[in-house]
Amino acid sequence: MAPTILVVGATGNTGRSVVETLSKLLKTSETSFSGHRILALTRSLDGRAAQQLARLPGVQVVEQNWVEITADWLRQHNVVRAFIAPHNQPNQFAEESTFHLAALHAGVEYVVRISTTAANVRPDCPAYYPRNHWAIETLLSSPEFQRLHWTSLQPNIFTTFYLAPAVELVKNYRKTGKQGPLRLMASEDAPVGIIDADDVGVLAAHLLVEQDTYTHNRAKYVLNGPEDITGREIVKMVEETIGTKVEDVRYKDMSFAEQMAAASQESRNVILSIRHLAETAWDGQCTAATTSKEVLEIAAPKGTPAEVFKMMLES
Does 25 have pLDDT greater than 90? yes
For 204-226, what is each residue's pLDDT tens digit? 999 999 999 999 999 999 999 99
Q: How many residues does the chain have?
A: 315
> What is the mean pLDDT of the segment spanning 233-247?
98
Does 29 have pLDDT greater than 90? no
| Cβ–Cβ < 8 Å for 151, 216 | yes
DSSP per-residue string spanning 213-259: GGGGTTEEEEE--SS-B-HHHHHHHHHHHHTS--S-EETT--THHHH
pLDDT-based confidence at residue 228 (cuts at 50, 70, 90):
very high
**All structural domains of the chain with their residue ranges:** 4-156+197-224+287-301, 159-191+227-282
For 129-175, what is each residue's pLDDT tens digit? 999 999 999 999 999 999 999 999 999 999 999 999 999 999 999 99
The predicted pLDDT at position 28 comes to 80
Q: Identify the DSSP state of 158.
A: B
For 47-96, what is each residue's pLDDT tens digit? 999 999 999 999 999 999 999 999 999 999 999 999 999 999 999 999 99
Q: Where are the alpha helices (DSSP H) in the chain?
A: 15-28, 48-54, 71-76, 92-106, 128-140, 159-176, 197-208, 231-242, 256-263, 268-272, 279-282, 293-299, 305-314
Q: What's the rounded Cα separation, in Å, for the pair 152 and 218?
A: 7
Question: How is domain 4-156+197-224+287-301 classified at the architecture level of CATH?
Answer: 3-Layer(aba) Sandwich (3.40)
- Within a 10 A sphere around the Cβ of 137, how many other Cβ atoms? 17
Beta bridge partners of 110: 81, 149
**SS3 state of residue 94:** helix
Cα distances (Å, whole numbers) of residue 243 to 94, 154, 238: 49, 37, 8
What pTM value is reported for the model?
Answer: 0.96
**Long-range Cβ contacts of 168-173 (<8 Å, 24+ apart):** 169/238, 169/242, 169/246, 170/238, 170/241, 170/242, 170/313, 171/313, 173/242
Cα distances (Å, whole numbers) of residue 212 to 129, 207, 208, 215: 31, 9, 10, 6
